Amino acid sequence: MLEKINKLLEEVESFGASTKEQVEEYRIKWLSKKGEVSILFDDFKNVPSDLKKEVGQKLNLLKNKAQEKINELKEKFEAQQGADLKQNIDLTLPGFPTLQNGTRHPLSIVKNQIIDVFSRIGFTVSDGREIEDDWHNFTALNTPENHPARDMQDTFYVSLDPEMVLRTQTSSVQVHIMMNQKPPIRTISPGRVYRNEAISARAHCQFHQVEGLYIDEKVSFADLKQTLLYFSKEMFGADTKIRLRPSYFPFTEPSAEMDISCTICKGKGCNVCKYSGWVEILGCGMVDPQVLENCGIDSNKYKGFAFGMGIERITMLKYEVKDLRLFFENDVRFLKQFTSA
């Protein structure tokens, strides 16, 4: 055994490696559980008693020498690798890796564009709570108790309090404004609203609205029409046309739905506008006098108009998106297509 140990000592002392892989190969050969040093330690029990001291010392020396050699060569290659890395460093590079710039969500882009258009003609922005009481969400807006909008199929009620709902429209924000601010009032209320609807390519249980309100003396339907014509041309282009169709909303009288000439086919007819040349984008009307009275405003002195639009509908028209669900799926491939200033 002494002869074998001495031979391995000579091999260890003369060993030199040109790569890190060779160092690892010899570490396994010498020091692994099945390596030559381990085998010698296993055979140590067969050494005669009078030679155990000498053989034991030689074995420990071999193990220590092999470990020192492996460590020495590892440090050598690591130092060399570090030197090579330093030589390849470009000191002109920025201190941090370049990060990709993010973009706003398409709904945020369009919402900000809508706000910008109305702010140019004096509309302020009002915000409000998403959990609203029944009075502000329905009753103050002239919605009778048996109105379909109160049905559980349309409204999310807060289970702990049947008088509290997730707002179905941002008109509730306007009620707070009318109750706490004296006319003249000119404001828009953007925000998220909720309705208990089946999710599809054209509908969702949560979506976004922008509702507008203007109250002052001598406000007329002509003012409403001119305001919406200005918005449509600024939002969709100078060639955009509008038309108003009679409709019904409990909080406006008279009421109308507004269509714009299709931005895709330019009014010629396509599958988006159902070959009519027109696309509905909002509802509007003159504020019902009872709504003004409910909010403490003298309906004999003041008149007003209101309108409301879905941000998703506007965004789908501007970017020709055919499935509303894409706005809520957080698909980076979809979102990267949009940029904002």
Q: How confident is the model at residue 48 (pLDDT cuts 50, 70, 90)?
A: confident
Spell out the residues 6+ positions from residue 155 whose beta carbon is closer than 8 angstroms to its own. Answer: 149, 165, 166, 168, 195, 196
Q: How confident is the model at residue 75 (pLDDT cuts 50, 70, 90)?
A: confident
Q: How confident is the model at residue 87 (pLDDT cuts 50, 70, 90)?
A: low
pTM of the prediction? Answer: 0.68
Q: How confident is the model at residue 341 (pLDDT cuts 50, 70, 90)?
A: very low
Q: What is the pLDDT of residue 131?
A: 92
Strands ordered across the beta sheet of 252-261: 124-125, 185-194, 206-216, 303-310, 278-287, 252-261, 242-249
For residue 68, pLDDT beyond 80: yes
Q: pLDDT averaged over the chain? A: 85
* Whole-number Å distance between alpha carbons of 307 and 117: 15
For residue 83, pLDDT beyond 90: no
SS3 letters across the chain: CHHHHHHHHHHHHHCCCCCHHHHHHHHHHHHCCCCHHHHHHHHHHHCCHHHHHHHHHHHHHHHHHHHHHHHHHHHHHHHHHHHHHHHCCCCCCCCCCCCCCCCCCHHHHHHHHHHHHHHCCCCEECCCCCEEEHHHHCHHHCCCCCCHHHCCCCCCECCCCCCEEECCCCHHHHHHHHHHCCCCEEEEEEEEEECCCCCCCCCCCEEEEEEEEEEECCCCHHHHHHHHHHHHHHHHCCCCCEEEEEEEECCEEEEEEEEEECCCCCCCCCCCCCCCCEEEEEEEEEECHHHHHHCCCCCCCCEEEEEEEEHHHHHHHHHCCCCHHHHHCCCHHHHCCCCCC
40-44, 120-124, 183-187: which range is least confident on average?
Answer: 40-44
For residue 225, pLDDT beyond 90: yes
Neighbouring C-alpha atoms within 13 Å toward the C-beta of 180? 8
Q: What is the mean pLDDT of residues 48-56?
A: 77
Q: How confident is the model at residue 190 (pLDDT cuts 50, 70, 90)?
A: very high
Length of the chain: 341
Tens-place pLDDT, residues 235-250 = 998 989 999 999 999 8
- Give the type of residue at 52: K
Q: What is the pLDDT of residue 92?
A: 76
Q: What is the mean pLDDT of residues 92-114?
A: 81
Tens-place pLDDT, residues 265-316 = 777 777 767 888 888 999 999 999 999 999 999 999 999 999 999 999 899 8
Q: How confident is the model at residue 76 (pLDDT cuts 50, 70, 90)?
A: confident
- C-alpha closest to that of 249 among 116, 113, 144: 144
CATH number for 106-335: choose from 3.40.50.2300, 3.30.930.10, 3.10.105.10, 3.10.620.30. Answer: 3.30.930.10
Q: Where are the domains of the chain?
A: 2-87, 106-335
Q: What is the pLDDT of residue 302?
A: 96
End-to-end CA distance of the chain, in Å? 81
Q: What is the mean pLDDT of residues 94-113?
A: 81
For residue 340, pLDDT beyond 60: no
For residue 155, pLDDT beyond 90: no
Residue labelled with tokens 């507004």: 258
